[in-house]
Amino acid sequence: MTGKRKKRPHGEITREKLIEATVRILSQEGLSAVSTARLAREVGIVQSGFYAHFDSLEACISVAAERIGEKIRASLAEGLALLGSQGAGDYHLVKAQYRRLLTELQQQWVFVELLIRYFRDPSPLGRALSRVQQGLRSDLVSYLTRVVEPLNLPKGGRPQAGFMADLMVSMTLSAVESLRWEPELDQELVAHLLALQTLNTGKHLVEWMVANKNPLLKTEGG
């Protein structure tokens, strides 16, 4: 006998609606358009009722920002899984994943702008964005560490993977900014250059790590 699906408490449903409304307004109109009055109206509650679910507007925005970040992180994870199964060094695959990620980040430009501006800020929003940034970095580091694992590098090559991840995140965010402010810029060209830069930098980084992982090799080389 199958049991009935347990209904979520009304308060939990309202809280989720507030988050969804914040995500929608934040994505489409920007931070300045989000207010307790607007959110209450969107959800169909009195303005004072907002505080039954969140201590402050910033707390709600922080949760919404993390929700958007989770979506972007899931998209990145999907792309990394594809690269891991079909070839990390395949230019066409790398370019396709950059193109897909650029499209999604352009659609979430408001979030990207918040991430660039506030992820080092000590506020609740800043801490939420920092968690998103660190999550993206962690996913990239884990993926890159698996790529270089067969080389048996010191510490598994994790420090170098961290540097490469930081470089990739920085390049991608800068590319999205350029696409935002230069409407005539071709996204295909940007994805092409990002893919080439990533593959070339990765190739030279691996070559350097292999040549320097053994102190004897380093001494003999000069």
Structure tokens, 116: 């660039």
Domains in the chain, start-ordered, CATH in brackets?
A: 10-54 (1.10.10.60), 65-212 (1.10.357.10)
Residue 50 burial (C-beta neighbours within 10 Å; 0-12, 13-18, 19+): buried
Structure tokens, 73: 């992180």
**Helical residues (DSSP H) of 87-123, grouped into ranges:** 91-107, 109-118
Q: Is the overall model pTM greater than 0.85, yes or no?
A: no
Cβ neighbours around 165 below 10 Å, total? 20
pLDDT, residue 214, reads 54
**Which amino acid makes up residue 94?**
V
Note whether 31 and 114 are within 8 A (CB). Answer: yes
Residues in the chain with pLDDT values less than 50: 1-5, 7, 215-222
pLDDT, residue 1, reads 42
pLDDT, residue 7, reads 46
Structure tokens, 109: 């430009």
User: What element of type H or E holds 90?
Assistant: none
Note whether 20 and 71 are within 8 A (CB). Answer: no
User: What is the DSSP-derived secondary structure letter of residue 22?
Assistant: H
pLDDT, residue 222, reads 44
6: number of CA atoms within 13 Å, CB side? 3
Burial 89-110 (b: 16+ CB within 10 A, else e): eeeebbbbbbbbbbebbeebeb
pLDDT per position as a tens digit, 9-51: 667 889 999 999 999 998 888 888 999 999 999 999 999 999 9
pLDDT, residue 221, reads 45
Strand residues in 13-60 grouped as ranges (E)? none
Angle at 54 between CA 122 and CA 26, to 5 degrees: 70
Q: Per 3-state DSSP, what percentage of the chain is helix, strand, and coil (rounded to 5)? A: 80, 0, 20
pLDDT, residue 160, reads 86
